[in-house]
Structure 1
Amino acid sequence: MPEHLPETMRASVLIKQGSLVVEERPVPRPAADEVLVKVASVGVCGSDVHYFKEGRIGDFVVDRPLVLGHEAAGTIVAVGAGVPADRIGRRVSIEPQHPSSTSPQTLSGRYNLCPHMRFYATPPVDGAFAEYVTIQSHFAFDVPDSVTDDAAALMEPLSVGIAAARKAEITAGSRVLIAGAGPIGILAAQAARAFGATEIIVSDLDDRRREQALKYGATSTLNPRTDDVAGLGLEVDAFLECSGATPAVLSGLAALAPAGRMVLIGMGADAVSLPIPAIQNRELVVTGVFRYANTWPTAIDLVRTGRVDLDSMVTGRHGLDEVADALIESTQPTSLKTIVSPGL
């Protein structure tokens, strides 16, 4: 390790469900193919909130102390033996994945589906609510000076929107319905617009979230309490389900045109009964996204060229001592993206 780097760092650690403490931990040492990043910004994700409040997400259970946070950016301050030294000083956005290099899914290009994946803030792998993290060099993407640290961190959730837009085959002139106007729904709307969609309809129960959607690419909004989404005859080309709500899944599926595509993004019920005859007779495609693969260059270019706006989505900022406050704040309807800045 370079002499000017400290031996220890501060990290916010989830000790158990609902309990966070700031600990002094050794600064991690980069492996041969890794870089050490001094963390500048970390976005708060709904998965962080689930681990904090419930101690688990599905089969992933917090059974030992865990550092949360996976939407991260910062500056490279040290490199492993196999990484060129000229990367030191580069500002980077972190793709928080470490797949096996030899699994069939990785070799096919779908490394996000690698069964041996080690992913930030997914038990037992520590995340980025810390002053320093390591990541493989090829998953630390250089960002231009015009891209802020906050925007660099939010390339991660934007990548979910990009992955969904690709799966939905959104292109010039597409008509898109999005259920849920939370952070991922807003980013999905921005990605759909960047991919060429000319009509983007966003559905959400909350008045304020629908208003926000109109600022970020939605051409119109629907309130599922009062609007019959399934019965409006929308006939959209693509439906991006970001809410996880079963009624939204079913109404959105009914709103698809023949040969339309539904992409499941939000985490909801373990099982939903779908209208199989409608799927068969209308040749609908039902699929999902699990994280992302090969999205970072696109995300960086969309932000660099101004086609996606991430900075204005930041609605709150906290230091490592206030991670619990950041997690709670991120669940409020007025919040889009809350940032944790370890340097505060």
Structure 2
Amino acid sequence: MLHPIPDDVSDEDGAMMEPLSVAVHSVSKLAKCKSGDNIVIFGAGPVGLLCMAVAKALGAARVVAVDIQQERLNFAKSYAATDVFLPPKKNDGEDTEAYAERISTELLSALDIPTIGPGALNICVDASGAAVCIATGLHLLKPDGTFVQVGMGEPTVPVPMFAILAKQLRVLGSFRYGQGDYQLAISLVSRGLVDLKPLVTHRYKFQDARQAFDVTKAGKDKDGKTVIKVIIDPPQ
């Protein structure tokens, strides 16, 4: 169960192989992302960002990031996303299904993405776990598209079943990682196809570990800087 890392991969990058392997499992193994694919990813947290990085490394033509925080979208655009989208606010009395359809329509229009044919979205990865993101992703996909659920939210959520049936979508669940995922993750970093360093926004000494967890939970530090990934140094 041990996976050695080459000399050209730092120990800090090695500590990031676990979340990167989650992204490799969902984007490469399950979604089978390849050169020329168009993918939309919900959630620009660490796992979502790494899914974007893996998609870019595998040659995706378009990597669309969706999140409700503009700061995270700005980071995603500078890191691996080709396009970003901030969903509109929910209207009073608007149910989840209607809201998801409206987000889908506005995203496709804003980013000039067709619903079918070349340029349409054929892969969606949800790294948020939010019910409205799941529904929106299913609406966004072209016929015969693939949806992969990575984020964990409520145990039961409503889904637009007609969209799944009419477009004959593949809907897959992704749980962590499996055989070969760590090896590919290490290879992507070693070959320079995925850069993990920009994701580490905060570092703490071992004796300050509690502060590191508090900052991670808050999502921002005392200066208002958005937290992406926190590294805690090993005890000296």
> Considering the TM-score relative to the shorter chain, is it more than 0.5?
yes
- Pick aligned residue for 2:133 from 245, 248, 251: 248
Partner of 1:237: 122
Q: Secondary structure at the match of 1:317?
A: strand
8 A Cα contact 1:222 1:229, kept in partner: no
Q: Deviations over 1:23-46 (max 9, x none)?
A: xxxxxxxxxxxxxxxxxxxxxxxx
1:259 and 2:144 aligned: yes
- Pick aligned residue for 1:321 from 194, 198, 207: 207
How far the C-alpha of 1:286 sits from its partner, in A, is: 0.9
8 A Cα contact 2:148 2:172, kept in partner: yes
- Pick aligned residue for 2:24 from 145, 162, 167: 162
Q: Distance in 1 between matches of 2:205 and 2:36?
A: 43
Which amino acid letter does the alignment assign opposite residue 206 of structure 1?
Q
8 A Cα contact 1:238 1:256, kept in partner: yes
**4+ residue runs of structure 1 moved beyond 4 angstroms?**
none
Which amino acid letter does the alignment assign opposite residue 159 of structure 1?
S
Gap regions ≥5 residues in structure 1: 1-138
8 A Cα contact 1:163 1:292, kept in partner: yes
How far the C-alpha of 1:317 sits from its partner, in A, is: 1.7
**Structure showing greater relative contact order (alpha-carbon pairs closer than 8 Å, 6 or more residues apart):** 2
Q: Distance in 1 between matches of 2:203 and 2:171?
A: 37
8 A Cα contact 2:88 2:103, kept in partner: no
User: Larger C-alpha radius of gyration, 1 or 2?
Assistant: 1
What is the TM-score of this pair, normalised by structure 1?
A: 0.58
Q: Deviations over 1:236-295 (max 9, x none)?
A: 110010111111111111000001111111111111111222211210011111010121
Partner of 1:203: 66
Q: Distance in 2 between matches of 1:272 and 1:343?
A: 42
8 A Cα contact 2:201 2:227, kept in partner: yes
Which amino acid letter does the alignment assign opposite residue 308 of structure 1?
V
Q: Distance in 2 between matches of 1:210 and 1:269?
A: 24
Partner of 1:217: 80
1:278 and 2:152 aligned: no
Q: Which has more helix, going by share of residues?
A: 2
8 A Cα contact 1:229 1:252, kept in partner: no
8 A Cα contact 2:43 2:126, kept in partner: yes
Partner of 2:15: 153
Partner of 2:235: 343
How far the C-alpha of 1:197 sits from its partner, in A, is: 0.6
Q: Distance in 2 between matches of 1:328 and 1:168?
A: 34
Which amino acid letter does the alignment assign opposite residue 230 of structure 1?
S
Q: Distance in 2 between matches of 1:148 and 1:264?
A: 30
How far the C-alpha of 1:319 sits from its partner, in A, is: 3.0
Q: Secondary structure at the match of 2:3?
A: strand
Q: Secondary structure at the match of 1:140?
A: coil
8 A Cα contact 1:319 1:341, kept in partner: yes
Partner of 2:97: none
Q: Distance in 1 between matches of 2:135 and 2:23?
A: 21
Q: Distance in 1 between matches of 2:161 and 2:131?
A: 16
Q: Secondary structure at the match of 1:330?
A: helix
Identity %: 34
Q: Deviations over 1:294-338 (max 9, x none)?
A: 211111111011110112211112233222211122231511110
What is the TM-score of this pair, normalised by structure 2?
A: 0.83
Q: Deviations over 1:110-147 (max 9, x none)?
A: xxxxxxxxxxxxxxxxxxxxxxxxxxxxx221112211
Q: Secondary structure at the match of 2:202?
A: strand
Partner of 1:74: none
Q: Which has more strand, going by share of residues?
A: 1
8 A Cα contact 2:131 2:158, kept in partner: no
Q: Map 1:288-327; keep pairs closer than 5 Å.
A: 288-293=173-178, 294-327=180-213
